Structure 1
Amino acid sequence: MKTLAIALVLSSIASAALAEGAGLRVIQIEMPHHAAEARVAIWYPRGAGGTPTVYADNPVFVGVEAFVDAEPAAGAFPVVLFSHGMGGTDGAQAWLGEALAALGAMVVMMNLPNSTWGDFDMTEGVRHWTRAADLLRALDVLADDPDLGPHLDATRVMAAGFSYDGWTALSLGGMTGNLDGLVGACTAHVETMDACDMLLSDAVGLQRQDPREWNASYADARVTSVVAIDPGFVWGLDQENVQALVPDALLIGLGDGETQMSATDFTASGLAALIPDADTLQLAPAFHFTAMPVCQPGGAAILEAEQDDPVCTDPPGTDRAAVHAAIVDALAVRLGL
């Protein structure tokens, strides 16, 4: 805790030279491995200018303030490659991108082909290696950008992700999959573990995936740290799968024994025990979707009327904004902000 307090003080000093607010640039990039385009939101420390807007605001979720196409601040900044999870969007964790950019980081958030709200195909999306390729493609585009590329600090590149894409982050940091182990765990817990019935269904066919692709390494040498927020696919792993994981790894769990999703429970699955040198942070009261944006006053009623997931209905006593702040602080410390 002492180290965290010191780091937070330093971050406030370092960010004092930045203009108020965060810069935001939204672009479309070609994704050759998908034969498609993807939208990428790049958050960055703002130097001056930009068009003020409220990004990702809608009747359900509260948006965040941004300065679109602002000039980047002077200096080099750590990079966060963030992946939103199955069925999410870049706006789902805009609160994280905006907050880290205001502290002095560049955050890359993209709408993953086949895995984004409105562009969703679980049969394709389950192929996790394509998601790793998505983030690396975005990093390459950012590095080549004449305006933002020169501001990247290549010595501090974090892969971070939520839910299914907590796994993507771990994969980029050196963890490898274990298809037989995951299928075995899902088969054993199909009635109690979230999403296993869908994963094992005829339409998705987890058990029919190619083990050579599933179990291969998708590590990238540029990735120096990893943060996995309530990560999926954490069951059925063994020591061989974690031996190449970068040493600076953080697992963040949302909820407790009553509210955490079984599929993302990195303690019950044995993952935390496999990587004792990694840090863990358990946030409660909370549940999986507490990582979604703060909800509008009528957000829960809208979702209920549409028979959608109750992502605005946190466990009693949850302060969603406080959970978000704890996640921001944890990432900021690891980035040296």
Structure 2
Amino acid sequence: MKLSMKIAAMLCTTVSSMLMAQQSAFANDVGVREIAAPSKERGSDVAVTVWYPAESGGKAVTLGESVFFVGTPAMLDAPLSDRKLPLVLLSHGAGLAGNPQALSWIAVPLAKQGFIVAAPTHPGNTGSTKSAAETMKLWLRPMDITETLNAMGEDALFKEHVELNKVGMLGLSMGGSTALAIAGARIDPKRLASYCDTNALNHSLCEWVRQSGVDLHTMDLTSADRDNEDTRIKFAMAIDPAPVDVFEFGTFSRTSIPVDLVNLGQPGKIPLTAQAAKIAEAIPNARYFTIEDASHYSMFAECKPGAAEIAESEKVGDPICTDGGGRSRSEIHAQMIHMVIDAFSRALKPLP
């Protein structure tokens, strides 16, 4: 299936032969295309972006580029490499970089290492359809992942190439909380209802929720505590998962799959709403890591020159170009990419 007009508008074709030459070695072996995942719960198809190891061909595009962020090259509709491959389901966060293409900086390296990566666009979390009410329906996100997995197993192109017994889940920020839910953790409706009573837990998100006129106490939370576990998924990795303080803590101990948790920042300075150390202690088969000279915004793509000033002038409100003050974002990304590839290789491509 061709990329939809909405997604295609986010893809910037390479505009100079010099840039094409610089990118060719990186882009030509990673393809990208879109499929549709039917969703009864959403009442419509969910758009799914898929990155994959590819043969030569396709059209050079740049994914995730914006006025703020550098994009990542790939080959649109390139032929799929003729082999069976493990699958990583990817969940994005909400807000400024809340879309699959914004995570191309980590999806493309995974595809280069022999994984198919599939990421649904969580409705209402980004773009022109962005909605505070829909964003806070956190229990809907895991079903988007489940429907994406269903679609990958039925898609005419991908079904013969996906190893459905080797499926993992990667989530960043709100996508990290989605990963924990898909692994078996359950939301506590009372905690979710009171999450934005003050700005103490998440100033940026809760200020938006209130300005949008959303009262979480009056939201229908009937399904909020449902079980979203998908037992087909064998491993989960959550990077700076947020919000984690809306879960019923006791349900973490019932998680049956291995889980890796990564926090960005120094212990003691990590925001409570993303703090995963105690969660790692509660999950029976979990590993916990920190990248101390990173920040929550290190999950965004690299900033363009002048992006911080533009963000300030446009009153974005978050320091989107600020990391921990030690290394550059590209260096932090290199470490994160290494951690992710190592984790999913360990979990889904074990040595014989």
Q: Identify whether the pair has TM-score above 0.5, normalized to the shorter chain.
A: yes
Q: Secondary structure at the match of 1:171?
A: helix
1:26 is matched with: 34
- Name 1:156's counterpart in structure 2: 166
Which segment drifts farther, 271-280 or 23-32? 23-32
Q: Deviations over 1:13-46 (max 9, x none)?
A: xxxxx99531111345544322344432100111
Say whether the 8 Å CA contact 1:200–1:207 is kept in structure 2: no
User: Post-superposition shift, 1:298?
Assistant: 2.2
Aligned-partner residue type, residue 40 of structure 1: V
Residue 158 of structure 1 and its aligned partner are, at CA, apart by: 1.1
* 1:67 paired residue among 69, 75, 79: 75
Q: CA deviation at 1:169?
A: 0.9
* Per-residue deviation, 1:79: 1.0
1:207 is displaced (CA, Å) by: 3.6
Is 1:97 the equivalent of 2:107?
A: yes
Look up the match of 1:329. 338
* More displaced 10-residue stretch of structure 1: 175-184 or 101-110: 175-184
Higher RCO structure, 1 or 2 (CA under 8 Å, sep 6+): 1
Structure 2 unmatched ranges of 5 or more? 1-25
Superposition TM-score, scaled by structure 2 size? 0.81
Distance 1:236 1:143, change over 3 A: closer
AA at the equivalent of 2:321: C
Change (3 A) 1:28 1:306: farther
Report the residue type matching 1:274 in the other structure: A
- The 5 A counterparts of 1:24-173 are 24-87=32-95, 88-173=98-183
- The 1:22–1:186 alpha-carbon spacing in structure 2 relative to 1, beyond 3 Å, is same
Counterparts of 1:275 and 1:330, CA distance in 2: 20
| 1:315 paired to 2:315 | no
Q: Which amino acid aligns with 1:240?
A: G
The verdict on how the C-alpha distance between 1:200 and 1:99 changes in structure 2, with shifts beyond 3 A counting, is: closer
Please list, as runs of the form range in 1=range in 2, the aligned pairs for 1:163-202 lying within 5 A after superposition: 163-181=173-191, 190-195=198-203, 197-198=206-207, 201=210
Partner residue in 2 for 1:284: 292
CA distance in 1, matches of 2:335, 2:76: 26
Residues 1:304 and 1:200: Cα distance change in structure 2 (over 3 Å)? closer
The aligned length equals: 316
Q: So what's the TM-score if we normalise by structure 1?
A: 0.84
C-alpha root-mean-square deviation of aligned residues, in Å?
Answer: 2.6
**2:232 maps to which residue?**
222
Q: Deviations over 1:226-250 (max 9, x none)?
A: 1111011322655531133133101
Shift of 1:315: 3.0
Percentage identity across aligned positions?
27
Rounded Cα–Cα distance in structure 2 between residues aligned with 1:69 and 1:240: 44
Structure 1 partner of 2:313: 305
Deviations 1:119-149 (A, max 9, x none): 2112122112211111222222221112112
Q: Secondary structure of the equivalent of 2:257?
A: coil
SS in structure 1 opposite 2:223? Answer: helix
- Alpha-carbon distance, 1:50 to partner: 1.7
